[in-house]
């Protein structure tokens, strides 16, 4: 896996909503992802409204993403945030695969960018590096990807 993210996008003046759907599970890490994504969106897209919806666990993220994408007023992008720490069974892999498939299906079927940062990690050290650190912060990267995709989608109209 690459450790170098694309350059941060230029700030956008687009108006609308970005929805963050985040798990409450593994709160130390998911709270940090939400905070980082929100801070980055405030810097790069100050005209956007950020709506945060919290769900119990990672498996519940896709149904809420689908509901948001199907809503009367569709957001410009949806960011899915969660942390799954792999255990000694296949449960985490099954959950992660289901989430990935569902998020991709929603984005394609509703033509709304769905940014997938539901992380599957081996241990707490990997979770910490990707959520609490500055170098690989996936919350920041999710917000940057959302802003970039909002601009791409706007250019298609």
Task: Find the Cα–Cα–Cα–Cα dihedral 145, 147, 151, 153, rounded to 10°.
Answer: 60
Q: Strand pairing partners for 22? A: 54, 81
Residue with tokens 């299906």: 105
Among the options 15, 91, 110, 116, which is catalytic? 91
91: annotated active-site residue: yes
Is the CB of residue 51 less than 8 Å from the CB of residue 16?
A: no
Distance between CA atoms of residues 20 and 49, nearest Å: 11
Distance between CA atoms of residues 104 and 100, nearest Å: 6
* Two tokens, residue 114: 């769905």
Is the CB of residue 127 less than 8 Å from the CB of residue 26?
A: yes
Which residues are known to be catalytic? 91
């Amino acid at each position: 896996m690459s450790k170098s993210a694309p350059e941060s996008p230029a700030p956008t003046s687009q108006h609308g909503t970005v929805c963050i759907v985040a798990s409450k599970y593994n709160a130390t890490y998911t709270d940090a992802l939400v905070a980082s994504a929100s801070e980055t969106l405030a810097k790069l897209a100050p005209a956007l409204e950020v709506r945060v919806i919290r769900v119990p666990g990672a498996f519940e993220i896709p149904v809420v993403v689908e509901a948001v994408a199907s809503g009367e007023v569709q957001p410009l992008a949806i960011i899915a945030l969660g942390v799954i720490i792999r255990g000694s069974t296949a449960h985490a892999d099954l959950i992660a695969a289901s989430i990935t498939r569902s998020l991709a299906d929603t984005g394609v079927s509703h033509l709304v960018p769905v940014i997938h940062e539901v992380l599957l990690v081996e241990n707490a050290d990997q979770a910490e590096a990707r959520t609490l650190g500055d170098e690989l912060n996936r919350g920041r990267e999710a917000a940057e990807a959302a802003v970039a995709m909002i601009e791409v989608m706007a250019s298609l109209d």
